[in-house]
Structure formats: structure tokens, C-alpha cells
Structure 1
Amino acid sequence: MSQVTRRELFPGVWLRAVHTNKFKSSYLSLTLLTPLDRKTAGANALIPEVLRRGTAVHPDMESLSAALDKLYGGAIEPVVRKKGETQCLGFVASFLDDAYALNGEKILEPAAGLLCEMLLKPYTQNGHFCPDYTAGEKANLIDRIRAQINDKRTYATQRLVQEMCRYEAFGVDKLGDEESVSAITPEGLWQRYQELMRTARVELYYCGSADPDRVAGALAQALDSLPVNENRSSPSCDVRVTAGPEPIVVEEAMDVSQGKLALGFRTGGQSCWEADYPAFTLCNAIFGGTTLSKLFMNVREKLSLCYYASSVAESRKGLVMVSSGIEFDKYQTAKDEILAQLEAIRRGEIEDWELEGCRRTLIGAYRATMDDQGRQEEFWLGQSVAGLEDSPEELAQQLEHVTREQVAESAKRFQLDTIYFLKGKEV
């Protein structure tokens, strides 16, 4: 059994500790939470990459690697994520758990120290970030932004979100855009870094065998040079309840052999904060969120209208996005059939095997989260961003009581907002 605790170490600096003997490694993460904004997203995404290049104590990748090797080959990686309308940037780290170290050696304290050193004591030149490190990581980030178009399935969903949430923070990509990244200077990036250190809420996460009080002490000491601010921001998310009177239709033509059809729905305010969240979750699973769903079993398998068809619920924003791959001339037929499957759910036309199969799939996924440290960290970060405390087991139990009628009522609140179609140039 694992014990989950949460405490505030300093104003706006929170630690969630999962005390467990289940794993041979300890998992640490340090995440800065800041509002997703087109003006700052690119710089925010660049900062962890530049910080990972070197610190004042370990000024290059070679010396950082040597420090990690001394910790039994630990790893610290930069990461940028998007949770609702919050940009989450920082580091995830994995180290040998103290219980498995030789001669009772303590790994937690030096690991926490190195992680926080990377955040708080960056390698600088002339009072700002190293120009070479900044230029190198800028080029890498621009390459990542440009490469997004290579995965057309992901690209279509990204374009759907951009169009659907054009005037909302959720429409901003977590990596920013090429134009804003290109304009970043070492001096400007340093100013943005200083601002984040002063204003961003900090979420710390630990999973391992160490006592939570010891974890809190180690991290509090490692973060003692973090600026004190009684008003660190807690980003919020704007959930738009309704779609426009008519769906927005966006078509793009590229040199592709397979069409990509993406549909975006507003959920009528259904989100992770609402009492009907379990019904909303199961509704999406039956619609397109599992391999037992109506989109997969009917649109893809039975009717062969799509190469793939699935849906994803964005619970912090109140959206459902359908993603499908189709022949160019199947656009209208596929779109009509996707909407017909949603209508079937609204009428309560849900077989027992669909209802129970999707329920068991979701419950199994929640419980499997407890077997993977990375998935646990991702889950608890999402809960922290949303200000929620329900555990995977508690969410699994809530699903047990959802009825067919509640699923149908959830589906009735879906409103088609935007249609995005990526087609071939010859069409």
C-alpha cells in the first residue's frame, strides 16, 4: 500500500509524496506552473532545456553526467507539458531508491540537491544564460516545432485545437511558435527565467521508500535560495460551455495520401470539476476512447470508413476531440457516421457489453497507474493543476456507479464546435 501526502513547503511551493516500497527506484519531479500564453510559451519551453545544459557547479553536460553517475546512474530530464490552460515546465528525475543503495548510502539528499541546483544555480556568462547553450537549444526547439507537421495525425488534432480555441489560451502550443522562439536572446531568456522564479507556483513530487518528512526536509533545504513570494500564481482554466450556432469548418491541402478528419466538441461545461465527471469520462470511452468504443467497433471495424477513429476528452477544458484517418472522398460519409454514433449514445443505445467493457477498461487503466511511477507522477500533476485530490482508486470507484442513462445525458450536452479536414492537394 502506498500513502499519499501533500504539504506546502514554502508559500506557493507544494510537495506531493507517495510513500511506497513497491519500486527499486525513486522518482522526483520539479514543475513550475504558469499560465499558457502565446507571448511567453516559447521562452518557457526553452528554459528547462538550457538549464539542463549546465549549472554553476557542473558547467557542462559532461560534468553533470559524472554527477549523475555517482548517484548510481540517475537521470534528470527536462520536460514541458500542457495541462488545461497551464504550461508545466521543469524536470523529472529517477534515482536508485535508498533501500537498494550499498552500505546504507543516502541517495535522496544529493539527488534532490542536484535537481534543485539545476533549477536555481544555472551556468551563466556575463550575468545571463550562456549564448552558446541558448543558441543550441533554440535550434533544437525550432526543429521540434517544425517536426510536429511530420506526424499528420497529431498535427490534425493540433490544428483543430488552434482553430477551435483561437481566442483562448488552450489554443497555444506548449512549445510556443517558431517566430517567438527565433526572437529569444540570452538576456531576454534570463529575464523570463527570473520572473518564473519569482511568480510561478512550484509542484514537487516524490515516489519512493523515504519517509515524507525526510523528503520534505531534503527538498526544503535544496530550495532554500528560491525567492519567497506569498502570492505565487495558481493558473486557472476557462471552460467555455457552449459552441457557436454553426460549426467552424477548416480545410487544408497538403501532399498527403490519407485524409485526416478531426472534430472538436464543447461538452456543455462538463469537466473534471463537475459532479457528472465520471459519467462524462465513461461517455467518452464508449464514444471513441477505447477499443470497445462505437467509433472503433462501428466506424472503423464494421463499416471500414476510417483507418483509425478515436476520441480524447480534455477534462480540464471541457472538450472532446475526435481523430480519424480517411480516404479523401469519404469525408461526408465518415463525418455523418461519427455524428450518428454520438446520436446513438444520446438515445441510450448502448449494449451491456459496451457499457461494462468500457467501464472495466477505464477502471483497469486507473489501477494500472499505480504500477508505473511516471504515470503516477503525470496523474498527480494533473490533479494538482486542477486543485483536486481524488486518487486513481477513488476515481475508479466512482465509475462503478455510472448508469446508461447518465452516459446518455452526458452525450446530449456535447456540441460540435469545429471540423478540421486535411486533404490531398489534388482534391
Structure 2
Amino acid sequence: MRITIHRGTNEIGGSCVEVEYNGTRLLLDAGTPLDDSPAALPADIDAYAGVLISHSHQDHYGLVERLPEDVPLYMGKVAWQFAQSLRLFTKTGDLLTHNPIPLEAGKTFRVGDISVTPYLADHSSPDAFGFLLEAGGRVVYYTGDFRAHGRKSKTFDYLCSRLPRKMDAILLEGTMMDRGNSAFASEREVEEGMVEAIRAESGIVCLNCSAQNIDRMVSAFRAAKRSGRILVVDIYTAWILRLAQQLSANIPDINWDGMRVLSHNRPAAGYYRNVKEHAEFFGGFLQDLYNSGNELWVQNLVDSPSKYLIKLSDYWLADILDRLPGISSTIIYSQWAGYLEEGTPQYNAKAASLKGRENSTFRLIHTSGHAVREDLMRLVGSVEPQTVIPLHTEHKNAYAEYFPNVHVLDDGEVFEL
């Protein structure tokens, strides 16, 4: 078995890993870099037996649009729907015409001479997987992105207890190798932080987070309910939550008590056009948007700001707050703080502009979608792999301080088992 990390040995994101055995070549993830630097699929991608996508973050699937349709694509059903939805709502392109083979946790399948078993991962995007690869007596695990402190933390315990011991290699993500997660160490602590922030605000409370971070949306709904407020979401978020209900009936939905959708005024008009233009993709969702018990106008926010926790993008939060002059607000920013750091490649000026608004309190309440170093050590200690290969990290040379049997690769370097 031969392993080649085409991209990902020196960066977070842009993951692209090849595993080859006896002529069968698999590509694990096909992501675009977070810094928007140029990226491409391997030049001979037509020769691959399949592409496996771990989850629906663009730093893991962003190059799929360039994938020839005759190369088999494997991805979680809901993860694929998330990726397609993002294209429609952000106007980045039409729906992709690929027909991916859906991944199912624990269901082993073969691609050529390689056996693949997907393992469900606790991550900030649902329907996320790691991959156990077996061929020629060799066993390798590709972690994808994972953590042990989300609402699906039991999946991490399952990994530690069920992955084969003494496997030949583990391809181990290390996003959090150089930093901790102490302010809010778990998704449960995020919920508690939200409750405290909401109860302290007499006006409107605003939330900025990723709609596809379903754990975070559950935390927001629970915090709003515990604080006596209604959670309001935009049409895009409402649709993402509707899709996620395929994974669990416990995901909040706009048909629930305590939920509303901003289905009128800005930004609803643009989102409505997206839904109407692709009615077949959205099914009966359009009708639900305008059920009397679900819909909301901006005027409702003006009239009763203390009733609501509203989740919108950074752009639309600023727009909404401009339409609520004189009303006290708390803004809960629930994403990576790095987006607020001016002068960095990831800087988001619109998000940063939410800080320092007049008559407004800005609160950073967030926990990472990635495993902290102690949990990486727990996984490696449980599995006891013969080799630990760093990837999805900016600190590969630090691995040897914490893990045994580390083999550091550079992009494009081949490692043979």
C-alpha cells in the first residue's frame, strides 16, 4: 500500500490524499485551500478508482466540481445535499450533476482491491466520516476532521474501542495541535454560555454561526428555549435544518414551537428566488416557509426585540441591526476567532464590523470542530498504530513530542507500507 498526501502536510484544509494498492487508486478528499491559493486535482484523476469525501466543508470537497463524472464519488447523502444547497444559495454555480454513492457508517464496501469502512465522526458538520482502508494485509485509518467534545461525542468513544489495534498507519488531523479549547471546552458549554448571554440582554440577541454546524444550531435552539425566546433563522438555515432531520428527528425545524423563519423582507427575497427557481430540489419546503405559524417579518423584531434570538450571516446581521436603531442588542459570534484577526488570510471584515457597534455587546462563544491535542493522544493511545502520519495541520513537526512512531511527510512524498 502506498500513501501520497498531495496536499495537506503543511496546512489546515485543502486536503487531498491518495491511497494505492495493486493498481487501485483512491483519493481521500478533494478540498480547496482555506487561503484561496490555487489548487487542482491530480492531473491523472481519470485513472482513480474512486474519490471519497469525508464531509461537507469546502476544504475537503471544494474540487469535486472539477471531478470527471465517470470517476465514482462517495459521500454522505446529507453531506452532498449540504454541498449542493450551498451552491444554490450562494450563487456559486448550478447544481452538480454527479451522482455520488452514499456512505453509511459501518457499512464496508470494496473499490477495486481496497476495502473501505466509513466511521461516523463527531465534527462541526454532520454526516462526517473517517475511513478505514484495508488491502494486502495492510490497515490504514484516515481520520478526516473529528473531535470528542460535540453532541456526538460517543462516536469518538466508539472509534477508540472499535478501530483495529496495531494498525499499520493512522493519517491524523492536527488542526488543534498548537492551541486549546479552554474558554468553551464542549458544545454543552457553548449552550450554557449562550443561555447566560441571552438572559443578560433586554433587547434583541443575534447569532452569527455556520448554518451547517448543526450541533451549534441545536445549542442555539436549546438556549433560546431555556431563556424564553424564539429562535429565528433565515431561509437558507431553515432548509439546512430540514435536510439534517434525515439524520435525527431531534434537529430543530421551523415547524416546531419556538422556531420561526424570516420569510419576508431582506434577506428573504433573494433566498425565496433561489428556492422558487429550483422547486424540484426543495419539494414542499416553500409552502412551509409561509405557513402562518412559521413566518416572520422584520417588523416583528422591531415590535418585540426581547422575544427573539435571530441567526443570520454577518452581512445580514449588520443590515438587520441597522434597521433596529436604538434597540439594545447582544451579538453572539460563534465561529473561529481567527476570522476576526485583521491582516490574516482568513480575515472577515464584515464579521469584524459586528464588534463595537453602538448599544451592542459582542460575545465570542464558540468551541472548535476539531479534536484538542489530548483527544488526539487518546485516540492514538487506544489504537496504538505502527505509524502516525500528520496532516491537516500547520505543526507536523510537533507530533513527535506527543505521539510515538511519527513519520512526517511533505506534499507529494510517497510513503510505502
Instruction: Return the structure number with greater helix share.
Output: 1
TM-score, structure 1 length as denominator? Answer: 0.25
Larger Rg: 1
